[in-house]
Structure 1
Amino acid sequence: MIRPIMKDILFLQVPSEPATKADLAIGQDLQDTLLAHQDACVGMAANMIGVRKRIIIVNMGFTNLVMYNPVLEAARRPYQTEESCLSLEGVRTTKRYEEIEVSFFDQNWQVKRLTLTGFTAQIVQHELDHLEGIII
């Protein structure tokens, strides 16, 4: 189901709670909502659709990947960049890392670990910030 984009800063500043298997349907809502906004968005966190759960979706270029309870395990080579967000107006400067390692549960509730670089790593970091209530 396509959900409206949350723009309430006070809501977005609250850290998200762990996801459970009962939250798997939220991943589909994120898929549908990201697809509806694909012209302006490459990733989303569940709180952006009004759900305070630790779930994100990231456009991997060839597919969209939903991550449940993602954890940043390592970050290397910091740099400054500018980002925008569907939940916010304008562009903001932020610090990101060129290469990251992230662990998460997939839709089958299997633990996965990925090493990501470049723009995909940047998207994941932006969405991980959302889960912590950090707004760029």
Structure 2
Amino acid sequence: MVLPIILYGNPILRKKCLDIDFSFYENRKKINQLIKDMFETIHKVKGVGLAAPQIGKNIRLFIVETPYLEEKDIINNYKEVFINAKILKTYGKKSKFNEGCLSIPGIMGYIKRKSNVIIEYFDQNWKKQKKTLTGICARVILHEYDHIEGKLFIDYFSYKKKKIIEKKLMNLSKTNSL
């Protein structure tokens, strides 16, 4: 099922998300269905990542799939589920990249992020993982991770850029979802 995407202005996008308690079988079934729906949603909108707050859920869950990423020569269809993710370390040179967000349509901006990330999480099979990711893949993960921490990519904009987009943001905040 394609899920509605929550837009800028909804308070859930600014909340730090809660860990998922998957000790109960029923929770696992619900989360697995939610993951399936999230992938269906990003396929429909041709996104590369989606975090639970963007669909109205205050839980530490995000997905990444990159078939619609323009940099196909850099990364070839990376797909992963991140449950209860924790970033252990970011490192490397910071680079700029023009980012956008499904929850803030029509707004793009160059964001500086570190080029490497070490992240610990549970995958879709509820197995604990620890991975080091680099380049554009690290960038997508950092963007989605920000969502479960209550941050948005526009938080990294300069004061001047924030003033330029202020009216667009106000208009978006009057809309509930896509």
Q: TM-score, normalised by structure 1?
A: 0.89
Instruction: Indicate the residue corresponding to 1:13 in structure 2.
Output: 14
Q: Is 1:120 the equivalent of 2:126?
A: no
For each residue in 1:40-90, what CA deviation from the matched residue of structure 2 results, as whole angstroms up to 9, or x when unmatched?
A: x11110111111110010125335211101111111122333311010141
Q: Is 1:65 the equivalent of 2:87?
A: no
Letter in 2 for 1:49: I
Structure 1 segment 16-95 matched on structure 2, within 5 A: 16-21=17-22, 22=27, 23-38=31-46, 41-60=47-66, 61-77=76-92, 78-89=94-105, 90-95=107-112
Distance 1:63 1:80, change over 3 A: closer
Q: Percent identity?
A: 29
4+ runs of 1 displaced by more than 6 Å?
none
Separation of aligned partners in 2, 1:135 and 1:51: 16
Separation of aligned partners in 1, 2:19 and 2:139: 22
Q: How many angstroms does 1:20 deviate by?
A: 2.8
SS of alignment partner, residue 76 of structure 1: strand
Instruction: Indicate the residue corresponding to 2:163 in structure 1.
Output: none
For each residue in 1:85-132, what CA deviation from the matched residue of structure 2 results, as whole angstroms up to 9, or x when unmatched?
A: 010141133331101111110122110111111111100000000001
Structure number with the higher helix fraction is 2
Count the aligned residue pairs.
134
Q: How many angstroms does 1:8 deviate by?
A: 4.1
Separation of aligned partners in 2, 1:54 and 1:24: 14
Letter in 2 for 1:124: I
User: What is the root-mean-square deviation of aligned Cα atoms in Å?
Assistant: 1.5
Q: Where does structure 2 lack aligned partners over 5 or more consecutive residues?
A: 67-75, 154-178
Instruction: Indicate the residue corresponding to 1:106 in structure 2.
Output: 123
SS of alignment partner, residue 66 of structure 1: strand
SS of alignment partner, residue 74 of structure 1: strand
Instruction: Give the number of the structure whose alpha-carbon radius of gyration is greater.
Output: 2
8 Å contact from structure 2 (residues 117, 132) kept in 1:
yes
Q: TM-score, normalised by structure 2?
A: 0.70
8 Å contact from structure 2 (residues 8, 104) kept in 1:
no
Q: Is 1:131 the equivalent of 2:144?
A: no
